[in-house]
């Protein structure tokens, strides 16, 4: 994909420590935060973008070494039965990375305070890549560089030594996932705008996944950042399986395809999937100019493309076959991303993605005509206006688009079995969620679990999908859909045409009905109007009396 200058899709935000969780709280205040504080104290003057790869690389190394050590101990105990603890195949058959002797954590910890520790870590990373082809070219190998303080590197190794992240108990609790995701979010905050290029807040990712429900099939992200969309998709499937009494152990029946232009972010994506045992095809390269999956037709597309990028090389793609609904302007890639995703949608596919608010109303450089063509082609299924301050990288207001190839209601994603739901052709659901969410610090907001359940529940009710077939329980919302003033509106195509194909939800949902002291808005307006008429009549009488008195005194009204 093209270089990003603003918001990028990427890693999911942190899970919460068990002691700090409640149904509506998305903040993490457990050991992850304590570990971050200690690690950040060792950063000294190193730039966050550089330090990120130092820390995350070591955490990844500790993870695979912990998993290896546990399996190694088991094989030692079974040596009398013919087990060989030094046979790589004994590990690979259990989906555990083989760790050569020079890369095992106890060896590194023992040498942590030696001046050559940087070279030892580089050798460890190289050895792991050598013996595990799936990780070739993925791990950072620049710990020996002079700019990296070796005393602080040793302290960091000692710090990470104090947590177990790869043994079976830790894997069951997803300890590494929590640490890794928390560190991603903290680095995004530390790097500011630049950090947001690889990171999408977990609440936004979760909302996208809850909306389109990627149960099975091909899942694609053309600008995948650090793979947060894929991680959350798999978590969604496991959570759904857990809700059905399967213990959350269901194998995700999805095929993952992603592409990322930034090489270092691509490495983060590979590690993010590897630590969770998720298989995926993650390509590195420019999505617009070197599409690595040209023939892919995806069942689900999830993405957070960079907002409003101007240097995407659009002038070299004027006759591209992806631009079926109009050539996107060379100065803004927004509708290039939209049409790239439409191009890759399967016949019954659905896409959910983030765009800047300007995409809903802009008429510059032909963008309005492209949006009109998408609406008239009946591809637009739902539009959501998001609250502000959700993203680390930009204060630009954002929205969610949902596109669907087949809106006739004939398709169901439950096991691929056909089912009839309402025919929504010629209609678009608008949801204004700008008032939802809560501030988690002075500059950032997040959608709570209740907010996500409400929004997703509204959409699925509009789609007519049975409540019992969904993981999202909609926070108690009824299955039947109804317009709610100020929040949601199912608008007909004719209404959208009257608004010039502008897709801003606020234009359609209207004003929220207000109640003051228990009095409904409509009743209050009727009472106040009657009171106004009475006061106007009384004023007329007073005017007449004043005029009569003035006349009796010999004065006229003028």
What's the pTM? 0.76
Q: Which two tokens stand for residue 74?
A: 């088991």
pLDDT, residue 2, reads 38
pLDDT, residue 391, reads 79
Which DSSP category does 27 fall into?
-
Asked if 488 and 429 touch (Cβ cutoff 8 Å), the reply is: yes
Q: Measuring CA to CA, which residue among 182, 205, 213 is closest to residue 446?
A: 205
Cα 192–chain centre separation: 17
Q: How many CA atoms lie within 13 A of 549 on its CB side?
A: 6
Q: How far, CA to CA in Å, does 123 sit from each of 155, 161, 432? A: 19, 19, 53
Contacts of 419 (CB under 8 A, 6+ apart): 411, 412
Mean pLDDT of the chain: 83
Q: What is the Cα gyration radius of the chain? A: 29
Report how far residue 127's alpha carbon sits from residue 88's, in angstroms, rounded to the nearest whole number.
13
Contacts 24+ apart (CB under 8 A), 437-442: 437/203, 437/387, 437/390, 438/24, 439/389, 440/26, 440/27
pLDDT, residue 558, reads 58
* DSSP SS3 for 240: helix
Q: What is the three-state SS of 438-492?
A: EECCCCCEECCHHHHHHHHHHHHHHHCCCHHHCCCCHHHCCCCCCCECCCEEEEE
Q: What are phi and psi of 160, to 5 degrees?
A: -70, -25
Asked if 535 and 516 touch (Cβ cutoff 8 Å), the reply is: no
Contacts of 66 (CB under 8 A, 6+ apart): 105, 164, 165, 166, 167, 170
Report how far residue 467's alpha carbon sits from residue 445's, in angstroms, rounded to the nearest whole number.
29
Q: How far, CA to CA in Å, does 140 sit from each of 143, 152, 187, 245? A: 8, 17, 17, 40
Which residues of the chain, if any, have pLDDT below 70?
1-31, 171-178, 180-181, 191-199, 241-252, 392-394, 410-420, 466-479, 514-518, 556-558
pLDDT, residue 163, reads 80
pLDDT, residue 196, reads 44
For the chain, what is the largest distance between any 2 Cα atoms, rounded to a whole number of angstroms? Answer: 127
pLDDT, residue 239, reads 80
Residues facing 491 on adjacent strands: 428
Return the axis-axis angle of helices 48-77 and 263-274, rounded to nearest 10°: 30
Report how far residue 378's alpha carbon sits from residue 397's, in angstroms, rounded to the nearest whole number.
25
Asked if 312 and 11 touch (Cβ cutoff 8 Å), the reply is: no
Asked if 255 and 217 touch (Cβ cutoff 8 Å), the reply is: yes
- CA-CA-CA-CA torsion sign (486, 488, 493, 494): negative
Q: 406: exposed, middle or buried (C-beta count within 10 Å: 0-12, 13-18, 19+)?
A: middle
Q: How many CA atoms lie within 13 A of 246 on its CB side?
A: 12
Asked if 357 and 504 touch (Cβ cutoff 8 Å), the reply is: yes
Report how far residue 123's alpha carbon sits from residue 59's, in angstroms, rounded to the nearest whole number.
16
CB crowding 454-476: b at 16 or more within 10 Å, else e? bbbbbbbbbbbbeeeebbbebbe
* DSSP SS3 for 258: strand
Q: What is the dihedral of CA 292, 255, 169, 40, to 10 degrees?
A: 30
Q: In this predicted model, what pLDDT tens digit does every residue of 477-486 receive, in sequence order?
A: 446 899 999 9
Which DSSP category does 508 fall into?
H
Report how far residue 496's alpha carbon sits from residue 178's, in angstroms, rounded to the nearest whole number.
43
């Amino acid at each position: 994909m093209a270089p990003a200058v603003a918001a990028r899709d990427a890693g999911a935000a942190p899970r919460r420590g068990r002691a700090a969780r409640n149904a509506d709280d998305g903040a993490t205040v457990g050991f992850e935060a304590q570990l971050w504080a200690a690690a950040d104290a060792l950063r000294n003057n190193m730039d966050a973008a550089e330090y990120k790869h130092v820390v995350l690389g070591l955490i990844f190394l500790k993870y695979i070494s912990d998993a290896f050590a546990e399996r190694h101990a088991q094989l030692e105990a079974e040596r009398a039965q013919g087990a060989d603890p030094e046979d790589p195949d004994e590990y690979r058959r259990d989906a555990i990375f083989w760790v050569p002797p020079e890369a095992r954590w106890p060896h590194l910890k023992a040498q942590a305070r030696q001046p050559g520790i940087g070279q030892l870590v580089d050798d460890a990373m190289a050895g792991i890549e050598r013996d595990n082809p799936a990780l070739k070219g993925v791990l950072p190998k620049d710990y020996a560089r002079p700019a990296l303080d070796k005393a602080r590197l040793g302290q960091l190794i000692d710090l990470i030594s104090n947590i177990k992240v790869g043994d079976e108990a830790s894997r069951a609790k997803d300890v590494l996932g929590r640490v890794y995701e928390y560190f991603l979010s903290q680095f995004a905050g530390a790097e500011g705008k630049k950090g947001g290029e690889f990171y999408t807040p977990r609440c936004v990712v979760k909302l996208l996944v809850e909306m389109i429900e990627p149960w099975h099939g091909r899942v694609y992200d053309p600008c995948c950042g650090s793979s947060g969309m894929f991680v959350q998709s798999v978590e969604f499937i496991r959570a759904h399986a857990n809700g059905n009494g399967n213990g959350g152990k269901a194998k995700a029946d999805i095929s993952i395809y992603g592409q990322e232009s930034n090489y270092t972010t691509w490495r983060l994506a590979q590690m993010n999937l590897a630590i969770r045992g998720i298989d995926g095809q993650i390509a590195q390269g420019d999505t617009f100019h070197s599409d690595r999956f040209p023939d892919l037709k995806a069942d689900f597309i999830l993405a957070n493309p960079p907002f409003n990028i101007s240097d995407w090389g659009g002038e070299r793609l004027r006759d591209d076959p992806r631009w079926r609904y109009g050539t996107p302007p060379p100065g803004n890639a927004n509708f290039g991303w939209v049409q790239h995703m439409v191009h890759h949608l399967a016949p019954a596919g659905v896409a959910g993605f983030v765009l800047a608010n300007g995409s809903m109303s802009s008429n510059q450089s032909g963008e309005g005509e492209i949006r009109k063509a998408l609406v008239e082609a009946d591809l637009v299924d739902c539009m959501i206006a998001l609250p502000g301050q959700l993203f680390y990288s930009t204060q630009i207001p954002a929205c969610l688009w949902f596109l669907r190839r087949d809106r006739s209601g004939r398709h169901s994603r439950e096991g691929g079995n056909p089912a009839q739901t309402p025919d929504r052709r010629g209609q678009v659901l608008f949801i204004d969620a700008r008032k939802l969410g809560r501030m988690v610090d002075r500059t950032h907001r997040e959608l709570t679990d209740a907010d996500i359940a409400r929004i997703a529940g509204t959409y699925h009710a509009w789609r007519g999908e049975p409540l019992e077939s969904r993981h999202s329980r909609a926070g108690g919302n009824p299955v039947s859909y109804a317009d709610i003033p100020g929040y949601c509106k199912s608008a007909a195509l004719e209404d959208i045409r009257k608004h010039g194909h502008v897709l801003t939800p606020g234009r359609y949902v209207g004003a929220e009905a207000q109640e003051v002291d228990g009095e409904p808005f409509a009743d209050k307006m009727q009472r106040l109007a009657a009171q106004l008429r009475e006061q106007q009549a009384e004023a007329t009488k007073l005017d007449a009396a004043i005029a009569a008195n003035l006349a009796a005194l010999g004065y006229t009204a003028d």
